[in-house]
Amino acid sequence: MEKLFFKNNRNKFAKQMDKSSLTIFMAKQVETGNTSENFEQDKNFFYFTGLEIPNAILVIHKNGAGKVKNYLFLERTVEELIVWTGEKMSKNEAKNKTGVEKVYYLDELERKLNGFANFTNKVYIDYQTSSLSSVLTPSLQLVNNIKEHYPNFDIKSPIKLLEKIRTIKEEPEIENIKKAIEITYEGIKNILNHARPEMMEYELEAYFRFESLVRGKKALGFEPIVASGVNSTILHYSENNCKIKDNSLVLLDLGAQHNMYSADISRTFPINGKFSERQKSVYDEVLKVQKEIINFAKPGLTLNDLQKKTIELIKKSLCKLNLIKDKDDDKAFKKFYMHSVSHHLGLDTHDLASKTRKLEPGNVITVEPGIYIKDEKIGIRIEDDVLITKDGATVLSSMIPKEAEEIENLMKN
């Protein structure tokens, strides 16, 4: 991604800041010299810098006249640790990657904050909370430090400001999500090509992870769900450690990652390659609901509107499947459908956005209805990633088969 993208993000955020204010974004904090090979950057810090290094800090300052300056603070290279972890990013490298002109070292942060003290009224800090019984997160420690040394600062969270800009995806972000979807598709194909009765769920997970790894993507958007039989009726099943019995359905909830942007796809398939009559009847109802919600989605609606419409359609399907008797019953359906149909997608799998926020062109959301019948060991969820356009919605994951016959043919071939 080009540095102009990150520079524009900083500018869009700064426009929302009050005059005489500053904002602090922290990179993922790790112990010096102990950067994990599974290091994953703080999403907001990445959104404004594009850097995937630990312990750095970005400061955006807006003075009383409305002029904005950006400051980046980096770790110094520790000579004794070079042989173990290599050299830290240089100032020039950071400038070239981010477009931030004023780059300092972390040990200079306190001096710079002192310089801002007389010209700042409000401080936005992107902090991560922790429970009362646990150690304060590094960002909360910074909040306490600032409160103690600069009691005149009004400290606020920047989340509401972030939501306004992160929910509208720019073209580079949409392309990254598309790439993550393509990798996810390759992983799903690899699963379907190898799926056989009596396999373990984690074996199928391994086929998915392999496709991500061979494309140089170590991190996934989230931990994969591979749930067979009755496990498919458990929404956040994560063990993936059961043997898959013949005639069982397997519910996949998967998402690869590309440049920190995630896909989020759900597909359900029969392990033996052929849906039973009952399985297919339930599957077709879920698919019908999903298609109707995708056609329904458009700017001006909210996620709550999509959910209300989904419940209306699910009730009709449950009556058709003889699972409930009355489509106007506001309680009976919850035994078979109990989650939201949609969430925003981007750097976070559940990206920043309120369910009451009206959809706008550039939003990327999921559409994921499901029906879960525990007594019959049938759990079906079908999920696609959808771009809201000025006229409605476009399915970004349309290349991933979801018709029952398509899935059967793909497994057969």
Q: Tally Cβ neighbours within 10 Å of residue 114.
A: 11
Tell me, yes or no, whether 97 and 234 share the same domain: no
The confidence score (pLDDT) of residue 148 equals 86
Q: Tally Cβ neighbours within 10 Å of residue 35.
A: 15
Contact present, 290 and 367 (Cβ < 8 Å): yes
* Vertex 392 angle, CA 389 and 395, to 5°: 75
Does the pLDDT value for residue 42 go beyond 60? Answer: yes
Does the pLDDT value for residue 33 go beyond 70? Answer: no
Tell me, yes or no, whether 112 and 189 share the same domain: no
The confidence score (pLDDT) of residue 117 equals 85
**Greater confidence, 55 or 151?**
55
3-state secondary structure of 41: coil
Tell me, yes or no, whether 300 and 361 share the same domain: yes
3-state secondary structure of 105: strand
Q: What is the mean pLDDT of residues 192-215?
A: 96
Confidence tier at 145 by pLDDT (50, 70, 90): confident
Contact present, 229 and 197 (Cβ < 8 Å): no
Tell me, yes or no, whether 130 and 176 share the same domain: no
The confidence score (pLDDT) of residue 130 equals 67
Tell me, yes or no, whether 154 and 177 share the same domain: no
> What whole-number percentage of the chain has pLDDT above 70?
98
How many angstroms separate the most distant Cα atoms in the chain? Answer: 73
Q: What is the mean pLDDT of residues 311-318?
A: 98
Tell me, yes or no, whether 91 and 238 share the same domain: no
Quote the tokens at residue 56: 């750095």
Tell me, yes or no, whether 242 and 135 share the same domain: no
Confidence tier at 153 by pLDDT (50, 70, 90): confident
CATH number at residue 116: 3.40.350.10
The confidence score (pLDDT) of residue 362 equals 97
- Decide the pairing of beta strands 102-105 and 122-125: unpaired
The confidence score (pLDDT) of residue 412 equals 87
| 1/172 Cα distance (integer angstroms) | 7
Does the pLDDT value for residue 15 go beyond 70? Answer: yes
Q: Which of 104, 136, 166 is the last residue of a domain?
A: 166
Does the pLDDT value for residue 35 go beyond 80? Answer: no
The confidence score (pLDDT) of residue 37 equals 60
Average pLDDT, the chain: 94
The confidence score (pLDDT) of residue 100 equals 96
Which phi and psi angles does 242 have, rounded to 5°? -105, 155
Query: Which amino acid, residue 370?
Result: G
| 59/247 Cα distance (integer angstroms) | 57
228: β partners: 250
Confidence tier at 119 by pLDDT (50, 70, 90): confident
| 160/121 Cα distance (integer angstroms) | 18
Taking only the tens place, the pLDDT of each residue in 246-289 is 999 999 999 999 999 999 999 999 999 999 999 999 999 999 99
- Convert 266-300 to b/e letters by CB count within 10 Å (16 or more is b): bbbbbbbbebeeebebbbbbbbbbbbbbbebbebe
Tell me, yes or no, whether 195 and 293 share the same domain: yes
Q: What is the mean pLDDT of residues 401-408?
A: 97
Tell me, yes or no, whether 311 and 404 share the same domain: yes
Does the pLDDT value for residue 34 go beyond 80? Answer: no
Among 254, 253, 261, 252, which residue's Cα sits nearest to residue 180? Answer: 261
Taking the model in full, what pTM does it have? 0.94
3-state secondary structure of 304: helix
Q: What is the mean pLDDT of residues 90-106?
A: 96
DSSP state of 108: G
Confidence tier at 363 by pLDDT (50, 70, 90): very high
Name the residue range of residue 91's domain. 3-166
Which segment of 69-78, 371-380, 390-399 scores lowest on mean pLDDT?
69-78
CATH number at residue 264: 3.90.230.10
DSSP 349-409: SS-S--TTSPP-TT-EEEE--EEEEGGGTEEEE-BEEEEE-SSSEEETTTTS--SHHHHHH
| 42/62 Cα distance (integer angstroms) | 23
**Greater confidence, 413 or 343?**
343
Taking only the tens place, the pLDDT of each residue in 320-334 is 999 999 988 889 999
Helix/strand/coil percentages in the chain, nearest 5: 40, 20, 40
Confidence tier at 368 by pLDDT (50, 70, 90): very high
Structural domain tally of the chain? 2
Tell me, yes or no, whether 152 and 209 share the same domain: no
Q: What is the mean pLDDT of residues 154-158?
A: 92
**Whole-Å CA distances, 240 to 208, 218, 250, 266:** 13, 19, 11, 15
The confidence score (pLDDT) of residue 238 equals 92
Q: Where are the beta strands (DSSP E) in 2-52?
A: 21-26
Among 58, 53, 41, which residue's Cα sits nearest to residue 100? Answer: 58
Q: Which of 166, 183, 199 is the last residue of a domain?
A: 166
Does the pLDDT value for residue 126 go beyond 80? Answer: yes
3-state secondary structure of 272: coil
Q: Which of 166, 188, 204 is the last residue of a domain?
A: 166
Tell me, yes or no, whether 151 and 193 share the same domain: no
**Whole-Å CA distances, 141 to 126, 182, 266:** 12, 40, 39
Quote the tokens at residue 348: 């976070």
Query: What torsion, rounded to 10 degrees, do the Cα atoms 197, 198, 199, 201 define?
Result: 90
Does the pLDDT value for residue 312 go beyond 60? Answer: yes
Contact present, 392 and 363 (Cβ < 8 Å): no
Tell me, yes or no, whether 257 and 279 share the same domain: yes
